[in-house]
Amino acid sequence: MLTLEALQSKIKSVEDLGAVVRTMKTLAMVNIRQYEKARITLTDYSKTIELGLQALLRERYFSETMTLLPNSQKQNHGLVGVILFGSDHGLCGQFNEQIVAYALEQLNQQQIPCDRRQIATVGTRLLPHLETAKQPIHNQFSLPSSIAGTTQLVQEILLTIEQWRFRQITEPGEEIYNLEQLLLFYNHSLSSTSYQPFTVQLLPLDINWLHQLEQRPWNSAALPTQTMSWERLFPVFIRQYLFVSLYQAIVESMASENGSRLTSMQAAEKNIEERLIDLNADYRSSRQNSITAELLDIIAGFEALKQPRT
């Protein structure tokens, strides 16, 4: 049985751990609010890009854009770019393990072999899970410490995508392969404490989506005009679409990470409170036993003094 001093030390350590957990819980809540605001802003920006594409597609029929669409024709034998979004920090439960398992399952279901996968990770905590699955990693990115650094990260990812698109890999006796598909895998935030794995195909562009934009009614009496040529303006909007899609994936993943961390901290806080209750009960019981033992010693000594001397 632990001494009173040992119990006091253990109680102090658990209380310190509780303070750390409460701090991390507060930081997670602040971060969730920050990424929620960014999500609202991105939604508005994404709508603006869609309006721009809709205006362009009203002037030039959808069939005429095919030559300008990146990777508009799938060949089912080229490289498949895969970008996985995870975390750089721990204490977020099964966050990284779940997204890796989901991504590999989806790739296997689509029958994409390992030699066709060009994988990039955003977050160092993904690496052990991919290495366990014996999945090669071609590019690695670290997450920004705040929302302010997200733009730079997106630009670095876009540069890597461009390198993938124009990179040619020649196998002995094989034809030259190019990047023909680009997939994003990230955890999509459902609420402040829940999320689910999500997939977005960036390339090739969704032809049905562009067709819907072309057919969508223009809700204004004023028709849009442009000063740049159609051939120059359309790729600019496509690049903005890729930019906002990547930015949104990062924001959703970071919000989900902090939501998972908040859930973990809430569970840890509950366990700490229960542990403190048990330790305090043990301390009170040990202290009472110690006081009782001291009283018995005093009584025994007093009774011994009352005995007549022989």
Tens digits of per-residue pLDDT, 175-205? 445 788 999 999 998 888 889 999 999 988 8
> What are 81's strand-pairing partners?
118, 182
- Judge residue 55's burial from the number of C-beta atoms within 10 Å of its C-beta, 0-12 exposed, 13-18 middle, 19 or more buried: middle
What mean pLDDT value characterizes the chain?
84
Query: DSSP assignment of 232-272, as one string?
Result: HHHHHHHHHHHHHHHHHHHHHHHHHHHHHHHHHHHHHHHHH
Task: Go through the chain and tell me how many residues it has.
Answer: 310
Residue 168 clears pLDDT 70, i.e. is over it: no
Q: What is d(CA 212, CA 5) in angstroms, rounded to the nearest whole number?
A: 72
Residue 93 has pLDDT above 50, yes or no: yes
Q: Which residue has the higher pLDDT, 282 or 200?
A: 200
- Read off the pLDDT band of 170 (50, 70, 90): low
Residue type, position 55, single letter: A
User: Which of 143, 121, 145, 144 lies closest to 131, judged by CA?
Assistant: 121
> Which of 132, 124, 116 shows the shortest CA–CA distance to 85?
124
pLDDT at residue number 119? 93
State the pTM of this model.
0.81
Predicted confidence at residue 310, as pLDDT, reads 59
Whether residue 129 is predicted with pLDDT greater than 90 in this model: the reply is yes
Domains of the chain (ranges; CATH) run: 21-216+223-263 (3.40.1380.10)
Two structure tokens written together for 107: 């790739």
What is d(CA 162, CA 180) in angstroms, rounded to the nearest whole number? Answer: 12
At residue 300, does pLDDT exceed 60? yes
pLDDT of residue 1: 64
- How high is the pLDDT of residue 62? 47
More confident site: 80 or 193? 80
Taking the C-alpha atoms of residue 294 and residue 288, their distance in angstroms, rounded to an integer, is 10
- Give the pLDDT of residue 171: 53
Taking Cα atoms as reference points, which of 197, 199, 195 lies closest to residue 260? 195
